Amino acid sequence: MSRGGGAGKVYFVLYLAVVLELLIIIVERDEAEEGLLRKQRETMKIVESILSQLQSGAGTEGINTRPQDEITIPPAGIDLKAVMGADIKSFRRYIVEVGVTDVTNELKKKEGEADKDYQIRKKKLVKLANVQEIEYQVFFSSSQDPNNAPMFFTEDEIKKQGYNFTKFTTGQTITANDGSSWEFESFRILNLDEEETFTQMPKENLTMETIVPIYPFNMRKTTGPSFAPSGLPDDSVFFYSTSESSKGGGDLKKRSFIVNFQPPSKAGWYKLRFASRTNRILGVKSGAKPAEISDETTVNIGTVQLTVRDLKKVKKELNNKLEKWGLPSYEEFVKTGDLEGFDKSLKEAHSRVASAEDATDLHGKINLYGYICKLLAPGQSSNFEQNRGSIEFNVRVITPTPTQANPVITIAEGFACFDAIEPVIDFTISPYQGNNVVEGKVIDQGGSTVARVTFRGRDEVAGTTLPPRGGSREYYGYVDSKLEPGKYNVEITHRLTGKSDIKTIPLDVFKAGLSNEQVLRNLITFAATYGNNVTVNAEPNSGGKIKPNQFKTYLNTDVDQQRSPFTGYTVQLSEAIFMSSNMNNLNLRITWIQPNTGIETDIFPQQTFPIVQKPPKVNIADRSISISGQERKISVRISRIIADGSPLGDSPGSREKADVTVTLGKIDVGGIQGFDYIEGSGNVEKGEGGVYSVYFDITGKLPRGQDKLIGNIQIPISATAKNKLNGKISKPERKIVTVPVNYEPEKPGRTPGRRPPR
């Protein structure tokens, strides 16, 4: 975190200077020393790595909010709209962004790298890519200056005074140089759990986005009030945000933290101060004993690694070159840990070389010596300025002069419900003062009171805190009895300090049920056949008075009874349920969900419809009739009778059909005088494509004086479909084929229809 732009580049220039100094020192060594060329090549690789990072930028730092903000908070009883002309939020959401080291190019396993070494390196990358610690502090000043917040300490002054705000208590006062005083209110500290962050990382395909830092609750430190907005849990006051951190795209070089801040109703200035500790520079870890530190231990400057052995060699070279200028003792620094004393001694050494001919070069070497000592001294790398940053901004809180507002009821234009349960309405009152009185009753069309209304705050029902005084409060109104279907009015009264607001709104109560119940039942019965897609089109008695999203339609079968309900009272073809051959029953239930209570009541109680095989379609319109034979045996043939099988329900869109059986009923020849059906002569013949023919014979004698058969024959036909997947047989499809007869029987030795000569 930094105060100004471009600070990240300064960090990288510093890294580059350090490595270049290493290069100069190594090059200046005896050229005959073994391994010189190897060292030069290694160092040049480091320089190239640093340069590549420098070209890509150093990451995003800072805070994305105004350096000064203003919040208006109404005292209890104030009508904020009357005073300010609009509703204004009394809380803020700030985003703090902290720059970290971009380790993208270091995440893959290097060629020849042992797995153990790779795991150790990844743990360091976790630290480099994240914010080790971030502290959020709140201070308050009662100053009423409308333009400028009182003076506060600079970072150098805080360090000089030795202030450690984590040891402050709420209400503790500090006084700036100009006499301005601030009260310490609170702090919250988030600490990185390195081990858990490492454990939760994916094993493969690592990116900056997948290294998600974890700041567990048990590692947080807090003192004083949270300044949390109303209803917001404590762990949402100050936290790491993965989504905000990822908004920069693929090249994530920052970590974002969110602060939700709502000050109390106390006019003055609040200072929100943030101090962070990152790991851009990682030296020898804290707690290590100098004598036990391995020469192979590595330190990091950004993503560049150097060994303790190399740093020691460079430090030795620097000691030899700068000995006469009185460098501070590294050993004493390690022993005492006195950073302030060490820096003071470095400053004195700088003073001594000021007049030397090569002063510029000597200043650089003294700085380099100080950097190396801090890298090698256990735990001291955390004190690099590049690892620490802070930012602060001021929030002015104003409280308008209180005015007593009139009581107000905000309510919908009307309500509707069903008679199966007691009605419940919802509305809002303002301003909430704690002594508000709310009353209600239900009046019929004749003006008589038929029920009373009792009230509970939404906060009371949900178990949340009361709203702040001067704000608004949401209520549920519970009618104390069920109401007969009809039209009513609900009268609500809100009283406050001798004033009142009365609202009367219509209430429509409908009989729980459907206006097309029988039609729907018939349609579902007809649709519940194998291979069909079942839809629902219900019409509640409420018409359009109740929104469709308050209804649920349960449509399922015996093989998928846990199917989720549909929202609304219709099921469109795109959502229809396919009647598969493995199903036996279809269930339908339609309910209404009361919005304010969640109570579910039936408007079409569950009904089970058997799923059946649909009868085949029998088409006799295109039939063809032929009659032949003599009186004693006249043959009748009816062809082109079509019986088409119904779907099997094997899969949607399938053309597979059920097997069809066509049979004859009792043939009625009574319409032709003097003739009878010859028992056993009837026969059904199945052709291709579901085309059938019927044959039968009749016998008799024409009445005297009559040479033609005239009349009608009635042939009953019955067709059934059998589902070959589940064995179910449909109900029969029956048809009566009427055969009109106007036929002159054949005579022996004559052409049919001709008379012999007289």
- The answer on 86 and 174 residing in a single domain is yes
* Domain final residue, candidates 580, 610, 640: 610
Q: Copy the structure tokens of residue 673.
A: 């005088």
Question: What tens digit of pLDDT does each residue of 302-332 get?
Answer: 667 778 888 888 888 888 888 888 889 888 8
Tell me the three state secondary structure of residue 106: helix
Give Cα 525 distance to the centre of its chain.
40
Judge whether 757 lies within some domain.
no
- The answer on 459 and 542 residing in a single domain is no
- The answer on 77 and 178 residing in a single domain is yes
- The answer on 679 and 606 residing in a single domain is no
Q: Copy the structure tokens of residue 238.
A: 């100050």
Judge whether 567 lies within some domain.
yes
- The answer on 183 and 226 residing in a single domain is yes
Q: Can you point out the beta strands (E) in 176-334?
A: 181-191, 221-223, 238-240, 254-261, 268-278, 281-282, 298-301, 304-307
Domain count, the chain: 6
Lowest mean pLDDT of 66-70, 110-114, 214-218, 237-241, name the range.
66-70
* Domain final residue, candidates 451, 470, 500: 500
Q: Is 608 exposed, middle or buried (0-12, 13-18, 19+ CB in 10 A)?
A: middle
Q: What is the pLDDT of residue 725?
A: 96
Grade residue 611 by pLDDT with cuts at 50, 70 and 90: very high
Judge whether 748 lies within some domain.
no
CB atoms within 10 A of CB 435: 9
Question: What tens digit of pLDDT does each residue of 350-386 get?
Answer: 999 888 888 888 888 888 888 888 888 887 777 777 6
- The answer on 318 and 265 residing in a single domain is no
Mean pLDDT (whole number) for 552-574: 96
Among 7-16, 33-42, 205-214, 746-755, the range of highest mean pLDDT:
205-214
- The answer on 565 and 488 residing in a single domain is no
- The answer on 112 and 209 residing in a single domain is yes
Alpha helices (H) in 129-261, listed in sequence order: 155-161, 194-200, 242-245
Q: Which pTM value belongs to this model?
A: 0.48
Question: What tens digit of pLDDT does each residue of 293-309 get?
Answer: 777 777 777 667 778 88
pLDDT > 60? residue 507: yes
Q: Each residue of 142-155: b (16+ CB within 10 Å) or e?
A: ebeeeeebbebbee
Mean pLDDT, the chain, integer: 85
- DSSP state letters, 663-706: EE---B-TTSTTEEE-TT--EEEE-GGGEEEEEEEEEE-PPTT-
Grade residue 704 by pLDDT with cuts at 50, 70 and 90: confident
Mean pLDDT (whole number) for 508-527: 97
* Domain final residue, candidates 560, 588, 610: 610
Tell me the three state secondary structure of residue 574: helix
Q: Is 58 exposed, middle or buried (0-12, 13-18, 19+ CB in 10 A)?
A: buried
- The answer on 524 and 640 residing in a single domain is no
pLDDT > 90? residue 461: yes
Which range of residues forms the domain containing residue 18?
1-57
